[in-house]
Each structure stands twice: as structure tokens, then as C-alpha cells.
Structure 1
């Protein structure tokens, strides 16, 4: 008989990305909020850093009446400066933004305590370590203060810390309020990402790497130390995929207690005629942009629009192998359509190109290319950019005879970039195919978002998402909406060929076949909705609450 799961009465989650959109963790938290709100209405609290004093944060709405009495108490008794409001995402959960600046004055004492109690080595800290740790500590203080003021020891409370940046909050609470059950989630080990980003082979030699030794070699001791010690000391250690769990076992010497697979909320995927209209407009805009840049007419029927996007991690995200594949595709005799490939990767962006803006505004058609006919915005470092360098190296110049044209959009698609002026989600659905050939990708939201928007995708089995797809019985390649290519430390060339061959095969599909593939892609994405994956969180809550109970008995 299955045991009854212990369920928390209150949940606190701390992350650097609460109301602060910088990466994939923002997507994890903001899409999951609605599912948890339905279950724990206003008993789940997200805690984020308050960078926005006196500035408008479009993601956060402050409400003076929320937790008003506690806020006053926290200010007078605990010297905590907090703002309480709601996160402007589906579910509108309560958010506490904390000003962590005042804690810098106690930094050395905090670090000493962390060393004495948990052997956390902050001696080699640099860069964002101090800032993250002061926020983590402040988040711990917020939960302690809230607990002391509003709750009792009969309330079952869980605190979940995301990434090394909030580890110190979990460790602080273990000592300060041992009644609270702690969960720590690493979305990618800092040392694994660093090994991969430094061009060292991660996978074939994973068994041979020593995390502590690599941290020393790569100057990552402090981040690695807080991550490792938190993983070992919390009540429940979690990660987001099997592939990252392998890293945790080898590099942190601790496997996850529960794997929290990342889900998805499809509420913002438009339906029916709204979808059709948005897709039409996105395609028209992309074709017009290409036409203005390259000086060539692109027709909707004869052009395959392909895209990749994400953080500018040239090797980790597989941007290099994508460009290599496009170069090979350009010489492929079997390619049935023109290809427009968009690289949507925020770089060190300067101004939107004025002459491109003028062309986009005019009603004319153009038959001459602009200078640099492959980039939408000028960069501060035009001569030292990895995408531009590789295009140059490969000799790809968007010439009239090239069947494959590459367009680099080096800015955040926030609707205000000066050229496209549309949000990412309003553009992604204009593609025919997306490509995410990641080398290092703990989960991989971009391919999942792509198929949710009915755009079939190509990814690899080094992404957590790709591995999950391979575990499904009925998905066998691009005809079912997702192609998962095998990727290792050393098969770059085979991956490039795999991408090329998949795009070529796709270019020969009939409109009816493409419609069917798009339908199947969307159906696969529905298997990854939070309503299916949230059960893993309930397991983690149960695990942590039982551990905390045991821990209290031993105190």
C-alpha cells in the first residue's frame, strides 16, 4: 500500500529569478506558479531580490495591504526592508521582494558562521558570489521572520532554494528554524557548466573528474562549495533531469533525492484563429526583414524559416554546430526550398541599424543587399563576435546564389528592439522548424516551448528534454514533431550532418504532411504540462518534511 504523502501547509521558494527574467529558472517558477496556486491558494510565497527600488518592475505589482502587519514587524524587529505584492504571471502568486544590501555589513560574520557550521568556503569569492549570498541570507531571514510572526510549530513549512545563489538561505534556516523542511534544487551544477563552457570534454570523462579539484582549477571554489555543502546538508536535494543527476553524483558526491522534471504551462499559446493570425503576421515580418537585409524576395510557400535561440553560450547551446549544419545545407543538392535561418541570441548589442529601419518602414521592395546583410543590430564588438566570426570563417555571406541565408538577431525580443518590435513568443510561432543542438543543457525549455507553439524541433540527447523525449514510446523523429540527435564529446560533425539531413528531408514534405507533423509536435508538448509533472514536487515535499521531523528528533 502506498504511504500517505505529507503535504506542506506553507511553501516558500527563493530564487534570483523571481520577478527577474534572466534565464530558464524564471520559466520553471513562473509557469509552475499557477498549478501550485490552485493547490495552495496564497500559501505559497516566492522570494526574490529587490533591484527595483523606485523603478517600475513590469513583472511585480505591490499591494500595501498584503501581509501589512508582518511587514511592519519585520522592519522594526528584524531590520528587514521588504515589499509584498503579486507576480504578474498566471496564478498571480504572492511575492516578497527583499532589499539585501544592508546585509553586506555583516558579510564576514555570515561567512564565518557558514564555515564553522557547514564548511562553506567563501574565501575565494568574487563577482556575483557576495551579492547572491547576501540575497540568500536575506531570504532566509524573511522566512524566519514570517514564521515567527504568523505561524506555529504545528504548521508544516517547506523552504525551497534554487541554485547555488540561494543555498545559504537554506543552510541558515536549518540552524535558525529547524522546524522548517529545506529543499535545494540545482538546475545545473556550477562546475559542470564551467567544465563544458571551458571546452573540456564533460561526458566521456565525467567519472574521472573530481568536483573539488576542478573547482580549484577553474577558479570556482566558493560557488562549488556552497552548492556542494547545501546539497549534502538540506533535507531534500533535487535536480531537474537524469543527465544533471549524473553530474551531481560525480561532481557534488551526492545524487538527488528526487528528480523534479521541468514542466510547462501552455496558457500563453494562442488558439484557433488567434494563432493563425499571429503565425501569419510573424512569418510576413520575418520574410520582410530578410528581404530588406538581403535584397531578395522571399515567398511564403518556397521558404523554410528555421530558428535557434537562447543564451549566448556558443558551444554549450550548440550555436557553432547549427552554423556548421547551415553551411553544409547550403551545398546540399536535395534541398527543396530556400532556407531562412534566424539566430536569436542576445549579444553585446549596440544600436538597431538605421538603414534597415528605414527599409522596413518603406513600402518598396529591394533588390540590393545592405552592407553586412546578416545582422539586424550593430554590436559593440563587431570584430570579436563568435557568430560573426564563424560566418566569416565558413564564407557564409548571404549571396544571391546561396540557398541558405542566415540572419543574426543579437538582442532580447522584448517588443522594443527597434527592428522586429515583437515579443519572442509572438515570433517563435512563425518558424517552420527550430534547432537546439545543445552540448550542455540540464533541461531545455526552448525546444519544449517550440513544440507547444506547433513548431517541430531538433534537439540532442545531451539535453534533459531530449532524454525525456527518448523515454516516450511513440516519438520517433521529426515526423512525430521532435528529432533527438545523439551527441557526445566528439561527434560534432555527425551532429551537423544530422541537422542538415533532417532539414533537407523536412523541406520535401507536402503541406498536408507538415500540418500533421505540427499537430503531433503540439501533442507531445501536452505530455510535459505541469499537471503531469507536479507530482514530483509532492514527493520532494514529503521527503523533506519526513527528514526534517527526524532531524528535529536528533537535535
Structure 2
């Protein structure tokens, strides 16, 4: 049945990652904004946490003239403190950053309110629960204040809350300002992620898991409680992929109303000669760093392979990647080229290696002939002896010896252009890779492989990622790495098979000639264009329509009672 795509007149998008680049949700919001802005203009308003009151945030530019009358009126409110400005991304949408710290004083009252109205159990909170909840509640107060000051009664106003971390704000609005329609988007359930992270089989036993029971077992009761409450109380419950929709229905006891796949914008991908120049620069930098660490010369045809993402050894398939590279380093017969592999995953990083910096600064273009001590890492780590990636490489006996066809290097820093070694941003290094591998076990969507193919880098993903499932459903693009994306079948039981299959993809790819590789790279780029926001945004319009319709029904029923 075709939905009536009624669009909001005012849209609040609320997330911890607004102007705060910490994960995939930042990419969702910052890339989608351009498409939404074309329709909503300055009626698209993002709400995020003000974490930089006394610091510079290059992603946010304050504008004290925006909504000045409203912000002036807030001076009478000792609790609600905001800064209004623009997000430094394409389209420069309006952002309200809220200082949530004053609400800590009333934390117990807020939690009592949530328990009384929605049964949210905050007793066993810990970690980031308080911080997230205070921000979420403050964000809800911001939306209510803005609505009332600007007299938006009769307007179609939607409040979209991303992840459990923003759930309390939407719950608060249901009581305090029921005229605002709410959408809740879970990008990954707290219980599902915890099951996977604790090395429990998620998929084989999913029908037998009960969310409340598992939340108690895994000690995520508070997060699960608010997540479940908002899933049941939002006017529209959404998630990012079909695989996460199944997870959410089982663990939150609520069927998803609309699936919102994560799109992408490719306007920042270099074109033509600029693309070639950027790729050559990136390859040169990656090979230079490897040479300085390893004391080994690399040929121009060296195959550069990479993986990246959140530091979750099992969930992101980092363990599979390491074992596959280890197997290839010991079994060289299938490889036509040397393999230079990188793990770009931020860890508990200390500082850039001074011995590496010395070689880079003092020795210049000199060809090193000896390796550095610990020839597998670019930055020192705090407690390096217990780091999971380093420990796994050590346990496997991976020494990056000259005779090994595969050399694996761990880059444990956030690539923001100021890391001290590469001094290049992530995308500026991604473009120089030849093949990327993301053998994820738990991946509700999977931006990293999508980003990869946008830069014409063929990629490997799995059927347990939302992106992988999407690729499997694409006509003419689901024939494996020859179409730009290899979707490997992963289960709870086939770890060894996954390692073998990843190694085989790398081996096969290493034998391809330049003409074949260029065709595959072009196919990867063509597939990425199918995932642009211009193609995916209609799902959001469906969600807005569902939320507004359910809000109208809810308000009408409340008026009768």
C-alpha cells in the first residue's frame, strides 16, 4: 500500500553525534542533511550536545542572530542554555547545541518521571547512561520551548530521535507536548550489540532470546529499558536495515514501522584528474610509512588492502581480517603481488612513534634497510601489551618478516589530519587503497564498505550487515567482487570458512590485470550511486507520514478522554 508522504513543516533531528564526529550516525545525519535541506530549508533543525563551551569546534559556527528572540527568552530559564548556529557541512543546516549539565541536579526527578509514565528502569544505570539521558531530556525541553515560543500549534512538527541515547527526550514530549510527532530510530539494539560483543551466538538463537532477560544477564538493563519504552511509544519506530528490524522485533517486542536505509553523498569524492592525483598521493603516503617502519621496498604493483571502523574485534570482523592476512602471509603460492594491509581502527592511542617520526623527518627519501622495533604499529598505545589487535598479531606470530608476502600494519589513531604520522584524513587515505575488507559479524548497516565503493575501491562485506543484505537484493550488482562488492555468507559457526574466503578473495584479486581491475572499480562506483540519498530519502518521507498520522490519531483520542 502506498503511503501518503506528508512532509513535516518543522523537523527536529536529535543525536549525540550532531556536530560530534564519533561514529556512523554522524555520517547518516551529515550526508542526509543536504537532501533534506533542499526540501525543508531552515525548517530542518538539528539538536546536539554542547560539548565545546570553552573549546573550538570546527564543525559548528555560532550565529547569535538565528532565533535571537527565542534564545533571549531563554535567559530567564536557569536550566535551558543553548547555542544556535550552522553545521559546517554541505547545506550548512541550523543546529541547536544544548548544555545538558544543569539537569544533573534533577536527575532523580527526571528518572522518577520516566518510571512513572513509561516504566523506564534507570536504577542500574552506569557508564554513559546519565550523560546521554540528561542530554536527551534537555533536547526534548528545547523542542518544547521552541514549539511554544514560535506558536507552532497546527503545524506538522516531527522530532526524530536517534538511538536509545535520545529516547528520553521523545518520551518527555509525548507527555509535555503531545502535538509533536515522534520518530525513534535504533541503529543497533543495546541488547543485540551486547550479545554479539560477548561472543554469544546472536543469529542461530535469535528467536529464543528475550530482550528483558538478556538485558539483565548482560547488565544493560537501563539502556534496554529506555530503548524498549521509546520503541513502543514513538509515533513511528524505525531502524536502518531489514536484518536489524528482525533483531529489534525480537528483542524490543515491537515491529518496526519503516526501514530507513543509510544513504550517502558522493559530492566530496574527487573527479577526473583530481581523483587520480589524490589516489597517487595516498598510495605514496601509505607505502612511505610502511617502508619506514619495515625497512622494505615495495613495488608499484603492491596490493594495498585495508579495513577500518569501530574497535570491536568480533563485531567488525577484525579478527577474521587478521587471521586471513596471517594465512596469506604463510601461504604465498596464490599471491601474484605483495600485499600491504592496514587496520585503521582508533584504539587507546598515546603518541606518534618518535623513532618513526625521526625516519620520516631526518632520513627523507632514504631507503631504510632495517625494521623498527615492533614493526606493525604507527603510534604507541596505552597498555599496548593488552591491546586486542596487537595481542592477536603477536599470538599468531605475525612479525612482518621480509619473506612474508603480506605485511600488516595497525594504525590505532583517529585520522583527522593531525595524527602526527600520516597527517591526512581518512577519506584522503581510503582513496589510495586497492581493496577493502569488512567481514562483520554485527553490522546493522555498514558505512565503511559503502564509502569504499564510492571511492571506486572494491570491497568485501557479509550477509550479516545491512549493506550486504541490500547488495544481495540489487539486480545486476550481486555477482561478487567482479561487480565491486563481495558479500560473504557469515554465520555463528563458520569463522574458519570466513577466514578462508577472505583470503581467497584477496588471492583472486591479486591475479587480475589492469583492465579487469578498472572494470571492477567502475562497477563499484556505479553501485554506490544506487545508494545515494536521492534514492533512499523516500523511506524517510514514509516515516514522517506514519508519525504524523499516528500523532493525529493519538491527539484526537486524548482530546476525547
What range describes the TM-score normalised by the shorter chain of this pair? over 0.9
> 1:313-367: per-residue Cα shift (whole Å, max 9, x none)?
0110000010111111121411100000000111111121111112122221111
User: Do structure 1's residue 106 and structure 2's residue 106 form an aligned pair?
Assistant: yes
Please name the residue that 2:251 is paired with. Answer: 251
Equivalence for 2:336: 336
Tell me what 2:326 maps to. Answer: 327
The two structures have a TM-score, normalised by structure 2, of: 0.98
In the TM superposition, what are the counterparts of 1:187-266 in structure 2 within 5 Å? 187-266=187-266
CA-CA distance at 1:104 after TM superposition: 1.0
The SS at the match of 2:267 is helix
Deviation track 1:408-445 (CA, whole Å, cap 9, x = no partner) reads 11100111111111000100010000000000000000
Equivalent position of 2:454 in the other structure: 452
Closer, same or farther: CA 431–143 of 1 in aligned 2, 3 Å: same
Give the whole-Å Cα distance in 1 for the aligned partners of 2:141 and 2:78.
Answer: 8
CA distance in 2, matches of 1:41, 1:550: 28
- Provide the residue aligned with 2:315 in structure 1: 316
Q: 1:465 aligns with which of 467, 487, 501?
A: 467
Provide runs of 4+ in structure 1 moved above 2 Å. 1-5
With the length of structure 1 as denominator, give the TM-score of the two structures.
0.99
1:2, distance to aligned residue in structure 2 (A): 4.8
CA contact (8 A) 2:4 2:542 kept: no
Worse-matched range after superposition: 283-292 or 444-453: 283-292
Aligned length: 554
1:77 Cα deviation after fit: 4.5
- Matched residue SS, 1:489: coil
Deviations 1:380-413 (A, max 9, x none): 1121111111111111101010000001111001
Q: How many angstroms does 1:74 deviate by?
A: 2.3
SS in 2 for 1:238: strand
5+ residue gaps, structure 2 = none
For residues 439 and 290 of structure 1, the distance between their equivalents in structure 2, rounded to whole angstroms, comes to 29
For residue 164 of structure 1, what is the aligned residue in structure 2? 164
Describe the superposition over 1:51-101 as per-residue Cα deviations: whole angstroms up to 9, x where unpaired. 111210110000010000000112325741100000001111000000011
Could you tell me whether the CA contact under 8 Å between 2:63 and 2:85 is conserved in 1? Answer: yes
Contact 1:340 1:405 in 2 (8 A): yes
Counterpart CA distance in 2 for 1:505 and 1:222 is 47
Q: CA RMSD in A?
A: 1.0
Distance across 2 between alignment mates of 1:6 and 1:420: 47
8 A contact 1:347–1:411 mirrored in 2 = yes
- In the alignment, the residues of structure 1 paired with residue 292 and residue 324 of structure 2 have an alpha-carbon distance, to the nearest angstrom, of 25
In structure 2, the residue matched to 1:386 is: 388
Structure-1 residue corresponding to 2:528: 525
CA distance in 2, matches of 1:425, 1:4: 38
The answer to whether the 8 Å contact 2:79/2:103 transfers is no
Are the counterparts in 2 of residues 78 and 145 from structure 1 also a CA contact under 8 Å?
Answer: no
In structure 2, distance between residues paired with 1:427 and 1:354:
22
Equivalent in 364, 374, 380 of residue 366 of structure 2 = 364
1:190-243 C-alpha deviation (Å, 9 max, x unpaired): 010001001111000001111000111111110000000100011000000011
Kept in 2, the 8 Å contact 1:210–1:251? The answer is yes
Q: What is the CA distance between 1:155 and its match in structure 2? A: 0.7
After superposition, where does 1:478-489 map in structure 2 within 5 Å? 478-489=481-492
Q: Report the 3-state secondary structure (helix = DSSP H, G, I; strand = E; otherwise coil) of the residue aligned with 2:117.
A: helix
Residue matched to 2:285: 285
CA, structure 1 residues 2+163, in 2 after alignment: closer, same or farther (shift >3 Å)? closer
Distance 1:4 1:410 in 2: 47
Q: What's 1:94 paired with?
A: 94
- Counterpart pick for 1:406 among 389, 395, 408: 408
- Secondary structure of the 2:253 match is coil
Query: What does residue 398 of structure 2 align with?
Result: 396
Instruction: Go from structure 1 to structure 2 and tell me whether the alpha carbon gap of 1:296 and 1:253 turns closer, same or farther (over 3 Å shift).
Output: same
Q: Secondary structure at the match of 1:405?
A: strand
Distance 2:356 2:129 in 1: 41
Q: Structure 2 CA distance, aligned partners of 1:364 and 1:5?
A: 62
State the secondary structure of the residue aligned to 1:440. coil
Whole-angstrom distance in 2 between the partners of 1:2 and 1:498: 41
- SS of residue paired to 1:40: helix
Cα deviation digits, residues 486-521 of structure 1 (max 9, x gap): 001110011111111111110010011111110100
Q: Does structure 1 conserve the Cα–Cα contact (< 8 Å) formed by 2:434 and 2:457? A: yes
- Within 5 Å, give how 1:73-88 maps onto structure 2: 73-77=73-77, 79-88=79-88
The SS at the match of 2:390 is helix
| Cα distance per residue 1:123-171 (max 9 Å; x no partner) | 1111111111110100000000000011332111000000000000000
Q: Hey, what's the Cα distance between the residues in 2 that align with 1:164 and 1:147?
A: 23
**Please, which moves more after superposition, 352-361 or 75-84?**
75-84
Name 1:60's counterpart in structure 2: 60
Task: Please state whether the residue corresponding to 2:42 is helix, strand or coil.
Answer: coil
d(CA) in 1 for partners of 2:351 and 2:519? 41
Q: Residues 283 and 433 of structure 2 are in contact (CA less than 8 Å); yes or no, is this contact kept in structure 1?
A: yes
